[in-house]
Structure 1
Amino acid sequence: MDDWVQVEQWLSVNAPASYSALRPPAQEESIAAIERALGFPACEAISLLLCNHDGTHSFDEMGDVATASYFLPGGHRLLSVDEIITVHQGLTQRLGTLGSESFGHWWHPLWLPFAARVSTDALFIDHREGDAYGRVGAFIHDDTSRIYWSSLEEFTRQMSAALTRGGRAHLFSPRVDGSALKWKVARQ
């Protein structure tokens, strides 16, 4: 996760409000709670990420939405262990009320959300066995979910490259707004 270290270093210098939104590390027993609650272990990449930071703050010290926390491409913020479990369980329960055509297209019980936007949209890591394992996609609550990165490592590599060398991460280009990192849809 060297690319994640570069992202953090870039944030600390260029977007200190976003850097300050990072929470302390998750405890190992908290990370183990993911497997107990969801029925499968989190992949090593998400465990390493949570060992660095248990997500980002949802609210600032005034009780307002911590907008600087939404510094991932697409306007997402890192989820804490508790939020991962809550979002996963909520989406999996909702999937159970939908028809079978939504299974694996709208949501899948083996997708682990690790980031979310203010709406219910989320980034997830696919935990299905085989070629799908480890891929990162976007859950879009009113559309079909899509895979955009081959792994969390590829996601952070693109993010780091966009921040340190310019360019974009998938469809998004970075910019600093005040002291917070934001992403805008890049022109094709």
Structure 2
Amino acid sequence: MKKLILYDLDGTLVDTRRDIINGVRYALGVLNGPDLTDDEIKDCVGTGLHALIKQVFRTEDEALADRGSKLYREHYKKHMLDHTHLYAGAREFLEHFKDRKQAVITNKPNPFSLQILEALGVAQYFISVLAGDNGLPFKPDPAAIHHLMEKTGALTEEVIFVGDSPIDIQAARNARVEVVTLSHGF
């Protein structure tokens, strides 16, 4: 039996696509970045904000990435819940497994992650939310998974990771835990 269920956030439990794309478009517009399609932006999501901004601006310029990240955060902070919603069945799934330990591992900054989970009324299901700014390496590094396994005493065979991206799959494989992938996300 699985004792610990771990979830990615964006694209797994929560459809944040439109609000993320709008935040990226805002930063691109202010800094005269390239004109990208939604799919081109979507394909860059998942490795953390700084990496996302570098990818969409097609740059290694750290100062530009820092400015773009700051603009994105300013916009996203105000608009992160404009279109964001739980995927159909997510709340029921969390409720069904409320007797198990459940946690979120995301590369999204913690304040945004917590605010979204609270606003959507599902924060109470999670024993922990480990985000991109919690001091642990970003996925696909398995450190966050290992941290939660140690915290809960769960063995490898008692853990399942639910995600939607190649980064999620790789994180689970790196931790040697079972992974379930959803096709509706990023």
Q: Same fold (TM over 0.5)?
A: no
TM-score band by shorter chain is: under 0.3
Higher relative contact order (Cα pairs below 8 Å, separated by 6+ residues): 2
Report the TM-score, using the length of structure 2 for normalisation: 0.25
Structure whose residues are more often strand by fraction = 1
